[in-house]
């Protein structure tokens, strides 16, 4: 009996997605490309998600593999993706979130493009944003937006051995998506480069994407929209009821975890070591992301209190090294606040000066008119 060798491995991290996993699996059953496998790794769900997945096993005719982590990773599915990748056998791998779904021609389109261009990475520049109340909305990255604005056709673009271009578009210009499900990747490329998801608390997909862009020799951007991203299907980390200190500490831990992972990536990739601007831009992005998620909590305390909260959490445990990124983040935040205040002051001052100039012009015109009227009155009297 011939061994089944799939063309594509679809990897799905699963956690409490009982409301949506069936839609995801139905979209896979409808695929026009049939030579693929589905690998689902459960991150210790507490709902009926695993049972729903198991009920679909027969429908996939042996192409569905289900596994479960021994304990919840707490890292947004990065451990589950890594375990799923370890099980994969496909020529290409494609990561899908359990609450999303894809078009029926998605795998065929992406696999055909990957083979035609012999691409290491196929990046999809368009997607569908789906909400329960708002329905489906087509969205594209900034490159697609510019093409549309200029009336140009958005065509596949192949970049060969030019990681600087890829990283510039991603980090400096912020033109591209960093989500893992916008990438269709050759499995041997990932194995050769040793690329897996950093198992950080949050942001591992961002670091994974940076490593792809920094190492891919043949990078293909395509305008194909094949993915439906459901953005109203999860409870945001910021919605949980926590105290001010707990909120700040949580996102402080997330930031520290991410900074350590990014530092490890810089040590691994020579290109990042020699061009620190990329790491700086990535760090700035993640600082903004982390601090936006605890904005309300931060607004309840002053910067000195923020430092005290973070210092108690990290420095008092003897891990002074971990406070460095946090100190930087606080300083960065304060600098931005000062810059914004200065801009407002300058704008206010410029507006005031403009009003003063207008008043001077008005006063000069008024004095001139008064002098004319006085001269006319004097003439009439005489």
181: domain CATH number is 3.90.550.10
**Looking at residues 85-93, what average pLDDT do you find?**
97
Task: Based on the fold, state whether residues 90 and 179 are members of the same structural domain.
Answer: yes
Report the candidate in 89, 92, 127, 85 with the shortest Cα–Cα distance to residue 112.
Answer: 92
User: 193, 211 in Cβ contact below 8 A?
Assistant: yes
Task: Based on the fold, state whether residues 187 and 267 are members of the same structural domain.
Answer: no
pLDDT tens per residue, range 305-321: 776 776 666 665 555 45
**Looking at residues 58-64, what average pLDDT do you find?**
95
Average pLDDT taken over every residue of the chain = 86
DSSP string, 166-235: HHIIIIIS--S---GGGEEEEHHHHHHHT------SS-HHHHHHHHHHHH-SEEEEEEEEEEEEETTSS-
The answer to whether residue 138 sits within a structural domain is yes
Q: State the pLDDT at residue 284.
A: 83
Beta carbons within 8 Å of 222's beta carbon, 6+ residues apart: 113, 122, 123, 124, 125, 156, 157
The answer to whether residue 352 sits within a structural domain is no
The domain boundary, picked from 181, 209, 230, lies at 230
Tell me how many domains the chain contains: 2
Task: Based on the fold, state whether residues 50 and 183 are members of the same structural domain.
Answer: yes
pLDDT tens per residue, range 140-156: 999 999 999 999 999 99
User: Could you give the CA distance from residue 122 to residue 158 in angstroms, rounded to a whole number?
Assistant: 9
Task: Based on the fold, state whether residues 74 and 121 are members of the same structural domain.
Answer: yes
The answer to whether residue 211 sits within a structural domain is yes
Look at residue 233 and tell me whether its pLDDT is greater than 70. Answer: no
Q: Flag the least confident range among 119-133, 188-202, 260-274, 318-332.
A: 318-332
Task: Based on the fold, state whether residues 308 and 290 are members of the same structural domain.
Answer: yes
Look at residue 332 and tell me whether its pLDDT is greater than 60. Answer: no
Q: State the pLDDT at residue 345.
A: 67
Q: State the pLDDT at residue 330.
A: 57
Q: Which ranges of the chain would DSSP assign to H, the alpha helix?
A: 21-29, 49-55, 78-87, 106-116, 142-149, 163-167, 187-193, 204-215, 244-268, 270-274, 276-292, 295-298, 303-314, 323-381
Task: Based on the fold, state whether residues 263 and 165 are members of the same structural domain.
Answer: no
Residue located via tokens 């003063």: 356
Task: Based on the fold, state whether residues 222 and 244 are members of the same structural domain.
Answer: no
Task: Based on the fold, state whether residues 146 and 42 are members of the same structural domain.
Answer: yes
Domain limits at 278? 239-336
The answer to whether residue 2 sits within a structural domain is no
Look at residue 2 and tell me whether its pLDDT is greater than 60. Answer: no
Task: Based on the fold, state whether residues 131 and 207 are members of the same structural domain.
Answer: yes
The answer to whether residue 264 sits within a structural domain is yes
Q: State the pLDDT at residue 339.
A: 61
The answer to whether residue 348 sits within a structural domain is no
Q: State the pLDDT at residue 338.
A: 58
Look at residue 238 and tell me whether its pLDDT is greater than 50. Answer: no
Task: Based on the fold, state whether residues 215 and 159 are members of the same structural domain.
Answer: yes
Task: Based on the fold, state whether residues 81 and 167 are members of the same structural domain.
Answer: yes
The answer to whether residue 344 sits within a structural domain is no
Q: State the pLDDT at residue 328.
A: 53
Task: Based on the fold, state whether residues 30 and 117 are members of the same structural domain.
Answer: yes
**Looking at residues 212-241, what average pLDDT do you find?**
80
pLDDT tens per residue, range 352-380: 677 767 767 877 776 787 777 777 777 77
The answer to whether residue 125 sits within a structural domain is yes
């Amino acid at each position: 009996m011939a061994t089944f060798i799939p063309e594509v491995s679809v990897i799905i991290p699963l956690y409490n997605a009982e409301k949506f996993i069936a839609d995801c699996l139905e979209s896979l059953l409808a695929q026009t490309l049939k030579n693929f496998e589905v690998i689902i790794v459960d991150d210790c769900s507490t709902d009926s998600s695993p049972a729903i997945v198991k009920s679909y096993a027969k429908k996939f005719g042996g192409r569905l593999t289900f596994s479960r982590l021994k304990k919840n990773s707490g890292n947004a599915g990065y451990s589950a993706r890594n375990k799923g990748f370890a099980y994969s056998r496909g020529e290409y791998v494609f990561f899908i979130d359990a609450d999303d779904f894809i078009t029926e021609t998605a795998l065929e389109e992406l696999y055909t493009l990957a083979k035609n261009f012999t691409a290491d990475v196929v990046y999809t520049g368009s997607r569908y944003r789906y909400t329960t109340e708002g329905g489906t909305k087509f969205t594209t990255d900034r490159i697609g937006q510019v093409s549309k604005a200029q009336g140009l056709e958005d065509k596949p673009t192949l970049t060969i051995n030019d990681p600087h271009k890829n990283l510039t578009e991603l980090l400096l210009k912020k033109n591209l998506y960093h989500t893992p499900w916008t990438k269709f990747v050759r499995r041997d490329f990932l194995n050769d480069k040793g690329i897996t998801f950093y198992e950080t608390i949050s942001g591992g997909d961002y670091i994974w994407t940076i490593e792809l862009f920094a190492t891919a020799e043949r990078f293909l951007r395509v305008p194909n929209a094949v993915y439906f991203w459901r953005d109203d299907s999860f409870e945001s980390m910021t919605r949980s009821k926590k105290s001010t200190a707990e909120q700040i500490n949580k996102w402080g831990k997330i930031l520290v975890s991410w900074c350590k992972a990014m530092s490890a990536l810089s040590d691994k990739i020579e290109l990042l070591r020699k061009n620190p601007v990329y790491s700086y831009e990535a760090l700035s992005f993640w600082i903004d992301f982390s601090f936006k998620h605890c904005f309300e909590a931060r607004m309840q305390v002053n910067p000195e209190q923020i430092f005290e909260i973070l210092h108690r959490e990290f420095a008092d445990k003897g891990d002074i090294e971990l406070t460095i990124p946090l100190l930087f983040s606080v300083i960065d935040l304060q600098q931005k606040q000062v810059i914004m205040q200065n801009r407002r002051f300058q704008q206010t001052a410029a507006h005031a000066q403009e009003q003063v100039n207008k008043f001077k012009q008005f006063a000069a015109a008024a004095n001139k008119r008064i002098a004319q009227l006085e001269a006319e009155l004097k003439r009439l009297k005489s």
